[in-house]
Amino acid sequence: MDDITRGLAQALELILSGDAALFEIVLLSLQVTGAALALAMLAGIPLGAALGLGRMRAQGLVTIFLYTGMGLPPVVVGLFVYLMLSRSGPFGSLAWLFTPSAMIVAQVIIAFPVVAGLTMTAVQAVDPQLRLQARALGATRIQEMWTVLQEARIGVVAATVAAFGAIISEVGAVMLVGGNIEGKTRVLTTAIVLNTRTGDFALALALGMILLTLTFLINGAMLQLQRVRDG
Amino acid sequence: MKHFTFAFVLFMLGVSILGCAAPVSQPTAAPSVCTLRLATTTSTYDSGLLDAILPDFEKKFNCHVDVVAVGTGQALEIGSKGDADVVLVHARAGEDKFVKDGFAQERFDVMYNDFVLVGPKEDPAQVKRAQSAQQAFKLIADSGAPFASRGDKSGTNSKELSIWASAGITPTKGMKWYNALGQGMGETLLASNEGKFYALTDRGTWLSMTAKLPNLEIVFGGNTIDENPDKHLHNPYGVMAVNPDKFSGINAAMAKNFVQWILSPATQERIGAYGKDKFGQALFYANAAK
């Protein structure tokens, strides 16, 4: 119990004192996860929509791959990205290993199936009448997709929220490909592991609470987006 | 509520620009800013030693050191894939193989500390009467008192396994008392504190964490390195510059500087002094050949 109360106190103290190292870690967490999420959305939403509208060949196979991808253990993704980016691997010349770029690559791979898979489900649930109507009004394919996506907005935001939650809290992959280098690739989750490893439970817990607060605020913002139409 | 959509799009754009700008600019910026990547074991980093000595190197050579602190097994693997410029580890057999396989030209002694056996204060296996580590391990096995192994191919893990081997015991998962945790030193000590396990640990990590381990004490190995009755428990650390001929992109010149620097008398003195003010004894003994 002692550690828990101390953790709470330390979390408040860290936030209020404007700790520079903490700020750096929080900023990098947001940068890496934000970039990964944006890229995953950019690729995942159109693919999910196309799948949901039944426009793809080998629909079943792609769907199975997406669903399997949702269950990928982050460490496995990390290991794969590590071997790809290693100097002895095919993309070694990029020199991305142990940089934020490598962390973004890993997180995109984790987030993409979640975004695409859940977007697909959301689009599938849209009343087919709407598409027929849109097409009858002379909508192009892209316009039709856009109309359906807007209708499936709640589901698409839910897909984004789920993907965000999966990668902001993920540690296995970023630890492996980022290396938890102080001031360079240390993010909230890897800092938590480090402090747990060295027995600084209160500090680890404080960082955990900060991560949770951050996630809460961002999810709150995304939820507002879901309500936009109704408000 | 329309403005919220706008705000959200702006937010996403903002983070993606922030996110992309910073890392993408890095690879291009890398050549102008000197960095040296050091793959090392958790004990050198978590004990605070590197934080204490590295600023001197960074200042002298105007080169930032990126420390990747992992288990010795993983550190050697990172080095053998060319993903680090220099490695500082403690597993003699693994280091010799690293040199033999051509991943480094030479290995140098840097320092040593020692291993100690810690266990529950009640000492159910009566390990305290042991004369050697080998005997202590035998007592644990005979009594069936629970033992926690790192089980992660770290330097400490390989030392532990070599002691079991010398005692003629092959620990297997079928043995109820033997727990291979597959975790780092800190986690293993914390688990031992909770479960009242015996465990082999390096003295540095033990000293830096004692306050958090009220149920444990040293049952074999003495209170300081000089009091350790078994010289087999010495734990030598070696430094190796990764062979630049094997991979492109290795910062070989700086790696060489690092090796020379860590072996230099001034740094060696600093290593030997580290921890005396905080723990009342040194955590590492410098032993680079003169």
Q: Count the Cβ atoms, other than its own, within 10 Å of residue B239.
A: 25
- In a domain, residue B17? The reply is no
φ and ψ at B10, to 5 degrees?
A: -60, -40
pLDDT at B31: 47
Q: Which of B233, B261, B276 is the last residue of a domain?
A: B233
Per DSSP, the residues of A76-126 read HHHHHHHHHHSTTSTTGGG--TTSHHHHHHHHHHHHHHHHHHHHHHHHHTS
| Chain-chain contact of B15 with A197 (C-beta, under 8 angstroms) | no
SS3 state of residue A72: coil
d(CA B78, CA B70): 10
The answer to whether residue A56 scores a pLDDT higher than 80 is: no
pTM: 0.83
B99 and B60, same structural domain?
yes
d(CA A50, CA A37): 19
| Chain-chain contact of A92 with B249 (C-beta, under 8 angstroms) | yes
A2-227 is a CATH 1.10.3720.10 domain: yes
Mean pLDDT of A79-92: 94
Per DSSP, the residues of B219-280 read EES-SSGGG-S-GGGEEEEEEEEB-TTTSTT--HHHHHHHHHHHHSHHHHHHHHHTTHHHHS
- In a domain, residue B207? The reply is yes
At residue A57 the predicted structure's pLDDT band, cuts being 50, 70 and 90, is confident
B246 and B222, same structural domain?
no
* Cα end-to-end distance, chain A, whole Å: 43
The answer to whether residue A33 scores a pLDDT higher than 50 is: yes
| Chain-chain contact of B19 with A104 (C-beta, under 8 angstroms) | yes
- In the structure encoding, which two tokens stand for residue B83, read together? 């993903």
- In a domain, residue B1? The reply is no
Left, alpha or beta for B186 (phi > 0: left; psi -120 to 50: alpha)?
alpha
The domain ranges of chain A are: 2-227
- For residue A33, give the chain B residue with the closest CA: B19
B224 and B130, same structural domain?
yes
Residue holding tokens 């999966």?
A: A166
Residues of chain B in contact with residue A229, where contact means CB-CB under 8 angstroms, are: 1
d(CA B168, CA A6): 46
B204 and B96, same structural domain?
no
- Digit-by-digit pLDDT tens for chain B (290 residues) are 444 444 444 555 555 555 544 444 344 444 458 999 999 998 899 888 999 999 999 999 999 999 999 988 899 999 999 999 999 999 888 999 999 999 999 999 999 999 999 999 999 999 999 999 999 999 999 999 999 999 888 889 989 999 999 999 999 878 899 999 988 888 899 999 999 999 999 998 898 889 889 999 999 999 988 899 998 999 999 999 999 998 888 999 999 999 999 999 999 999 999 988 888 888 899 999 76
B269 and B241, same structural domain?
yes
B195 and B140, same structural domain?
yes
> How do beta strands B178-180 and B147-149 pair?
parallel
Q: Residues A132, A135, A139, A144: is their CA dihedral positive or negative?
A: positive
At residue A10 the predicted structure's pLDDT band, cuts being 50, 70 and 90, is confident
- In the structure encoding, which two tokens stand for residue A228, read together? 């936009």
pLDDT at B7: 47
- In the structure encoding, which two tokens stand for residue A93, read together? 């010349």
Three-point CA angle A178, A91, A70, nearest 5°: 60
Residues of chain B in contact with residue A194, where contact means CB-CB under 8 angstroms, are: 46
The answer to whether residue A74 scores a pLDDT higher than 70 is: yes
- For residue B5, give the chain A residue with the closest CA: A225
B217 and B151, same structural domain?
yes
SS3 state of residue B145: coil
Residues of chain B in contact with residue A89, where contact means CB-CB under 8 angstroms, are: 81
Q: Residues B176, B182, B185, B190: is their CA dihedral positive or negative?
A: negative
Nearest to B8 among A88, A221, A229 (CB): A221
pLDDT at A178: 95
Using CA atoms, how far residue A7 sits from A16, A21, A192, B2, B52, in Å, is 14, 17, 12, 39, 26
* Cα end-to-end distance, chain B, whole Å: 73
Left, alpha or beta for B280 (phi > 0: left; psi -120 to 50: alpha)?
left
- Nearest-CA neighbor of B157 among B211, B107, B202? B202
| Higher per-residue confidence, A8 vs A119 | A119
- In a domain, residue B25? The reply is no
The answer to whether residue A217 scores a pLDDT higher than 80 is: yes
B229 and B254, same structural domain?
no
| Higher per-residue confidence, A3 vs B285 | B285
- In a domain, residue B211? The reply is yes
Q: Count the Cβ atoms, other than its own, within 10 Å of residue B128.
A: 14
Residues of chain A in contact with residue B190, where contact means CB-CB under 8 angstroms, are: 199
pLDDT at B33: 82
Q: Count the Cβ atoms, other than its own, within 10 Å of residue B177.
A: 15
B171 and B90, same structural domain?
no
B104 and B76, same structural domain?
yes
B99 and B118, same structural domain?
no
B124 and B196, same structural domain?
yes
CATH code for the domain in which residue B155 is found: 3.40.190.10
> How do beta strands B234-241 and B108-120 pair?
antiparallel
pLDDT at A228: 65
Q: How many domains does chain B divide into?
A: 2
Burial A20-35 (b: 16+ CB within 10 A, else e): eebeebbebbbbbbbb
- What is the value of ipTM here, to two decimals? 0.79
Q: Which of B233, B248, B277 is the last residue of a domain?
A: B233
At residue A229 the predicted structure's pLDDT band, cuts being 50, 70 and 90, is low
Burial A150-177 (b: 16+ CB within 10 A, else e): ebbebbbbbbbbebbbbbbbbbbbbbbb
Domain that holds residue B125: 114-233
User: Distance (Å) from the C-alpha of residue B66 to the closest C-alpha of chain A?
Assistant: 6
| Chain-chain contact of A32 with B19 (C-beta, under 8 angstroms) | yes
Residues of chain B in contact with residue A32, where contact means CB-CB under 8 angstroms, are: 19, 23
pLDDT at B30: 44
- In the structure encoding, which two tokens stand for residue A17, read together? 């004192």
d(CA B239, CA A75): 29
